[in-house]
Amino acid sequence: MKTKEQDFLLLINQHKGILHKVSRMYMDNEEDRNDLIQEIVLQLWKSYEKFEGKSQFSTWMYRVSLNIALTYFKKEKKNTERHTLLDNFDKIEEDHSNEKEQQLTLFYQAVHELNKVEKALIFLFLEGLSHREIAQNLGISEVNARVKLNRTKEKLQNLIKSYGYEF
């Protein structure tokens, strides 16, 4: 039992990037991100027995993580959310030392204005999945995945432009 748990934790550690990226896509503050990571890891652990290794661990992890993220709703505290958004904008303005990180922060800021499905599309696209793989993960047709992804990319561009940045 211990070995199985250790194997699982090792795999989670190897793929922790997926957890951090999904949580950053879906949640805009540290507390909610940690809660989402906890929920995903616990669900992965519960399902680990059924993981037969037919697909890669990361492929399986994408599926579980997104299924959890799509049905995860953060605590209702609208005022705090608004503060977090504004605070982050201030940080972007103040910190010019790292342009790449600044652009990424801006990207995440725009992502938080997308709906849950659009977030999933952008996440899978940035993880390098093909249209066919995105369609399989989300359970929609390949054509639908392509159309939706293009629309979401356009929406994202417009959002970033509306902040006054070139895209």
Partner 1 sequence: MNFDELQKQWDSQEVPNEIPTIDLHTKSNVNSILHILRRNILLEFVMWLVGLALIIYFTNTSYFNFSGSFKILFYFFILQLIISGFLYYKRFYYFYRSTQKQELLSSRENLLTLYYDLKFAIETYKSTSYLITPSLVLIYLFMFTHEEFPNWLESLYDHGLFAAQNSDKTMTIFIIVLGTISLMIIMIEMMAYFTYSKYLKKIKKVLDDLDQL
What distance in Å separates the CA atoms of residue 146 and residue 152, rounded to the nearest whole number? 10
Q: Which of 75, 86, 73 is nearest to 26 (CA)?
A: 73
* Distances, alpha carbon 1 to alpha carbons 49, 56, 111, in Å: 11, 22, 40
Binding characters for partner 1, 102-131, by CB under 8 A (x = yes): -xx-xx-------xxxx-x-----x-x---
Contact 22, 123 (CB under 8 A): yes
Q: Which stretch binds partner 1 (CB under 8 A): 80-88, 89-97, 138-146?
A: 138-146
Which tokens hold the place of 38? Answer: 């906890």
Q: Indicate which single residue of 26, 68, 129, 131 sits in contact with partner 1 (rule: CB under 8 A).
A: 68
Residue 89 found at the interface with partner 1 (CB under 8 A): no
Residues that bind partner 1 (CB under 8 A): 5, 8, 12-13, 16-17, 19-21, 34-39, 41-47, 50-51, 60, 63-64, 66-68, 70-75, 100, 103-104, 106-107, 115-118, 120, 126, 128, 136-140, 144, 147, 153, 160, 165-167
